[in-house]
A = this chain, B = another copy of it.
Amino acid sequence: MGSKAVVILSGGLDSTTCAAIAAKENDEIICLTFDYGQRHRRELRSAREVAEHYDAEHLVVTFDARQWGGSALTDEIEVPKGRGLDDSIPVTYVPARNTIFLSFALAVAEAKAADRAYIGVNALDYSGYPDCRPEYIEAFQAMAAMAQKRAVEGHPVRIESPLIQLSKAEIIRRGIDLGAPLDLSWSCYEGGERPCGECDSCVIRARGFEEVGVPDPALSGAGV
């Protein structure tokens, strides 16, 4: 029986590279995307296109995080620009988002008998997000081993976070090496049809491509 993995796929640069890694390491990937009321819904289209690129089953789970709010990504408050990416936790932090995403990944993995769940979290560029740190992933892994029928029967879901210690430039290089469709990916926090170029996410992405020394393929036409 081939190895099967669930990949949390937002449609961003990191999760697109993460999907490329998962596709390389497994015989079959199932892409899992969340439509949670994010203002940058444009990423959902990217997620669909990336899943199609990998000819993967694509599940889109819909819930509405605006019911409780608490984030600039879901509430009607401004996405910060030019914040300078200091050490504080950004207002774009979404309460318990990765915990919710990973919990659904456990459910899907169990129902589909997949042994791994991939998440493209990154501790360097988003050091402010508590749920992007290695110690968080380890704690989630320990919890997952207790949580599920398949786990207690000897098949715990292994949480894979292959990007966690990489810089944005290293993620881009990795994506390019693996032929990941970075042209299809979407990073901008704003809801427009083209990247704003000014939000934290656009700034980090642009710096990454600059460091690698290649143009961002999503800006050259094909992906936008």
> Is A104 touching B100 in the complex (CB atoms < 8 A)?
yes
Binding site for B on A (CB under 8 A): 59, 61-65, 67-70, 89, 93-100, 102-104, 106-108, 110-112, 130-131, 133, 135-136, 139-140, 142-149, 151-152
Tell me if A103 and B96 are in contact (CB < 8 A). Answer: yes
For the complex, give the distance between the alpha carbons of A63 and B89 in Å. 28
Complex CA gap A136/B131 in Å reads: 19
* B111 lies within 8 A of A107 (CB): no
Among all A-B residue pairs, the 3 with the closest Cβ atoms: A70-B111, A96-B107, A95-B110
Contact A107 B136, beta carbon cutoff 8 Å:
no
Q: If the complex has contacts A68-B108, A70-B110, A136-B143, are A95 and B131 also in contact, measured as CB distance less than 8 A?
A: no
Provide the bound-state CA to CA distance between A100 and B109, in Å: 13
- Given A136-B146, A147-B136; A107-B103 close (CB under 8 Å): no
